[in-house]
Amino acid sequence: MRNIRVGAAAVNQIPLDWEGNGRRLRAVLDMAREAGVGVLCLPEMCITGYGCEDNFHARYVVDTAWEELAALLPATRGLVVSFGLPLRYRNGLFNGAVLVADGAVVGVVCKRHLAGDGVHYEPRWFKPWPMDVHARAELPGGAEVPVGDLHFTVGCPGGDAVRIGFEICEDAWVAQRPGGELARQGVDVILNPSASHFAFGKHEVRRRFVVEGSRAFGVTYVYANLLGNEAGRVIYDGGLLVAQGGQELARGRRFSFREFEMVTAVVDLDRTRTSQRRTASFQPDVGSRGDELRVNFDVPETTFTPASGAPDPWESGPRVKEEEFTRAVALGLWDYARKSGSNAFVLSLSGGADSSACAALVWTANALASRDGAATVAMGDRLCCVYQATAQSGAATENSARQVAEGLGATYARVDVESLVAGYRALGEGLVGRPLTWEGDSIALQNVQARARAPGIWMLANLRNALLLTTSNRSEAAVGYATMDGDTCGGLAPLAGIDKHFLRAWLRWMEAEGPWGVGPLPCLAVVNALQPTAELMPASFQQTDESDLMPFPVLDRLERFAVVDKQSPREALQRLSLEFPATPRAQLLLWTRRFFDLWRKNQWKRERYAPSFHLDDADLDPRSWCRFPILSAAWTRELRELAAEE
């Protein structure tokens, strides 16, 4: 029996925050030592922060990262630790995992497979390290270190050494995982330092490759990840994992509001070694490849104790997507505010679903942060809501806005901006030399109301040194159902990654149940009783969002068919007919044509949306997933031919 304690840490880092990142890493190292950890895995790029983007090209960033690592080495005495940072070699930049043992750098394993899709742009900054290549790299200051496709044997001569290898984030997501080769080298422990962003349902995929990797490779597998809203758009959920021989031993909390989390587990190395010997298909590599580094340091043995860390009960509940959405966006809002230098929010609260959802998420962030012991302030100081009335505003939405703000404990104010709207209307009539009418000038008259609300709410945000939230959702972004420089004004768009159909269901869930450990928000009942409307036309027009566009379930399916599945209008219509068989084909054709036409015309709006959170690995943000030309004649012929068939 050879028992050692392994650990994985999730750390909430900030790109290029040398002092802060170093302070948090020292705190994690101290915690690991106190817990008796022998081998600790830290996240990918934990020293620099993962989201440095083009700053990775700056020489000083790489040099400073290695200086910071040198400053951290004394805190690793008695430990084996992996750190993530960039490495420069022969004018190429590589994504490195540095193994440190007892205060000394042993070697650097470089990432083989770079993430280059969705929110990831690693090939823009890094080069993939080739398989079976190892060399020596000169570090800032002149020292040399082994680098490349390496694994490590940590142990004094005559002792029972621990063999350690790496799969760095994306390396574990590909078909030809390095873990297979490491298993043939007799590796005991695979460390996976990751910067794996949150997306709905993604954590279960991670859990499967960790657990299955531990079984298939016959190893102990230790998975670490970043935590929080590190650089603006991407949210990291943590989700630490330790598995051995196909069994999950420890799992960390996700979406923690603490600066770091850690899980540990005692693993019996002899157990996995015996498993490899028993497996008929296991074939060790008996040759010498020169990629093994020996380290003269004994990983301390330990007595067996229960693993630390456990998931929250909500992870096995029936409403995981609602919980994930709530916790991801709440953490994103919290981190975005504090890392931008503001801890307060301002919101133009219309009383409708979108703005009420934003308010509810700020309230939830405050509640979850308080549960985790983070510093909080009263909701009246955290969130200021303003209802901005025009001649088209109704008593129902005003009552809804007031009840939601009061129910959340937010600061609330009502202002009347009709005089501003009237002034702009008179200005427009003077410019064109005629009266403006709802029958002939509806878009202009609607948009001027939204834009008249922008200057005042921006001023309030400036006066309070607060973040102005814009309330546009993903469904609106798809078809451009928003007024630029009006309701899109703001510094952050927390809902731009989520569709309206889900959002309405989420509001009902928040009213009745709410996130685990926090509870419901009954004040949302008044919002859920209303039909979503922009409320920009006279009441006689009976304007609703779905009458302007189409039913939101239809809109969301068309978005999937056209944008994600890349289907033509005809193919999208065929699939729509299968999913909505009770709807006349002529109506489905009308909605299909409307969607494709609006999508094509409104890319310029999607380019101008405030930063949003990445919640889905097929989102609409052109800066993180969906590229589309601002000017194009896309689907013009296809839609004309489709219409001619009817």
Nearest of 33, 19, 9, 367 to residue 223 by alpha carbon = 9
Look up residue 334 and give its two tokens: 């919290």
Q: Is residue 153 part of a domain?
A: yes
Q: How far apart are CA 518 and CA 367, in angstroms?
A: 7
Is residue 623's pLDDT more than 90? no
Q: What is the pLDDT of residue 216?
A: 94
Distance CA 541, CA 534 (A): 12
pLDDT digits (tens, 9 = 90+) for 219-244: 999 999 999 999 999 999 999 999 99
CA distance 246 to 7: 18
Looking at residue 289, what is its pLDDT?
A: 65
| pLDDT at residue 23, rounded to an integer | 98
Task: Say if residue 24 is in the same domain as residue 100.
Answer: yes
Q: 349 burial class (0-12, 13-18, 19+ CB within 10 angstroms)? A: buried
The Cα-based distances of 291 to 108, 157, 190, 453 in angstroms read: 11, 19, 15, 64
What is d(CA 107, CA 244) in angstroms, rounded to the nearest whole number?
Answer: 25
Give the pLDDT of residue 201: 93
Residue 71, pLDDT score: 98
Type of residue found at 428: G
- 428 part of a folded domain: no
Do both 77 and 180 map to the same domain?
yes
Order across the sheet with 162-166: list the strands. 247-251, 241-244, 220-224, 189-193, 162-166, 151-154, 292-295
Q: Which two tokens stand for residue 386?
A: 């303003």
Q: What is the mean pLDDT of residues 544-561?
A: 95
The pLDDT confidence band at residue 288, using thresholds 50, 70 and 90, is low
203 within a domain of the structure (yes/no): yes
Residues 537 and 575 in one domain: no
246 and 384: one domain?
no
pLDDT tens readout for residues 104-129: 999 999 999 999 988 899 999 999 99
Run of H or E residues at 622:
none
Are 259 and 333 within 8 A, CB to CB? no
Query: How far apart are alpha carbons 387 and 420 in whole angstroms?
Result: 15
Task: Please determine, for residue 196, whether its predicted confidence score (pLDDT) is greater than 70.
Answer: yes
Of 258, 284, 311, which residue is a domain's last? 311
pTM: 0.95
pLDDT of residue 624: 81
Q: What is the CATH number of the domain that holds 379?
A: 3.40.50.620
* 86 touches 40 (CB < 8 A): no
Strands 260-268 and 3-11, sheet pairing: antiparallel
- pLDDT-derived band at 245, boundaries 50, 70, 90: very high
The two tokens of residue 169 are 């984030």
> Of 311, 333, 357, which residue sits at a domain end?
311
The mean pLDDT of 255-275, rounded to a whole number, is: 94
Q: Whose structure tokens read 């405050």? A: 366
Q: Structure tokens of 585? A: 């084909």
The domain boundary residue, chosen from 311, 335, 369: 311
pLDDT, averaged across the chain: 94
Asked if the model's pLDDT at residue 339 lies above 70, the reply is yes
Rounded Cα–Cα distance for residues 409 and 581 (Å): 46
Q: Are residues 195 and 329 in the same domain?
A: no
| Residue 120 sits in the same domain as residue 180 | yes
The average pLDDT across 541-553 equals 93
More confident residue, 508 or 316: 508
User: Are 112 and 227 in a shared domain?
Assistant: yes
What are the structure tokens assigned to 229, written together? 């809203």
Alpha helices in 372-441, H assignment, sequence order: 379-382, 395-408, 418-432
- pLDDT computed for residue 43 by the predictor: 98
Which of 38-52, 155-169, 421-435, 446-460 has the lowest average pLDDT?
Answer: 155-169
For the chain, what is the domain count?
Answer: 3
Does 441 reside within a domain? no
pLDDT at residue 1, rounded to an integer: 64
Longest pairwise C-alpha distance within the chain: 96
Regarding whether 261 and 195 lie in a shared domain, the answer is yes
Residue 514 identity: G
Tell me, yes or no, whether 421 lies in a domain: no
* 380, part of any domain: yes
Question: CA of 321: how far to CAs of 168, 471, 503, 522, in Å?
Answer: 27, 20, 11, 20
pLDDT in tens, 577-593: 999 999 999 999 999 99
Structural domain for 486, as ranges: 324-416+454-545
Residue 641 has pLDDT above 80, yes or no: yes
Element (H, E) at 347: strand 345-348
pLDDT band at 646 (very low <50, low <70, confident <90, very high): low
Single out the residue of 191, 216, 210 nearest to residue 275, CA to CA: 216
Rounded average pLDDT over 540-562: 94
Alpha helices in 73-136 (DSSP H): 122-125
b/e code 164-198 from CB counts within 10 Å (16+ = b): bbbbbbbbbeeeebbbebbbbebbbbbbbbbbbbb
CA-CA distance, 269 to 320, in Å (whole number)?
35
Q: Do residues 149 and 209 share a domain?
A: yes
| 496-537 tens-digit pLDDT | 999 999 999 999 999 999 999 999 999 999 999 999 998 899
CATH code (residue 118): 3.60.110.10
Claim to verify: residue 12 and residue 55 sit in the same structural domain: yes
The answer on 501 and 389 residing in a single domain is: yes
Which pLDDT score, from 0 to 100, does residue 388 have? 97
- Among 453, 508, 460, smallest CA distance to 483 is for 453
Note whether residue 432 is domain-resident: no
Same domain flag for 183 and 69: yes
Q: List pLDDT tens digits, range 346-373.
A: 999 999 999 999 999 999 999 999 999 9
Asked whether residue 160 is assigned to any structural domain, the reply reads yes
Would the CA dihedral through 338, 340, 342, 348 be positive or negative?
negative
Instruction: Report the percent of the chain where pLDDT is more than 90.
Output: 86
- Does the pLDDT of residue 159 top 90, yes or no? no
Distance of CA 192 to the CA centre of its chain: 19
CA proximity to 207, closest of 163, 162, 238: 238
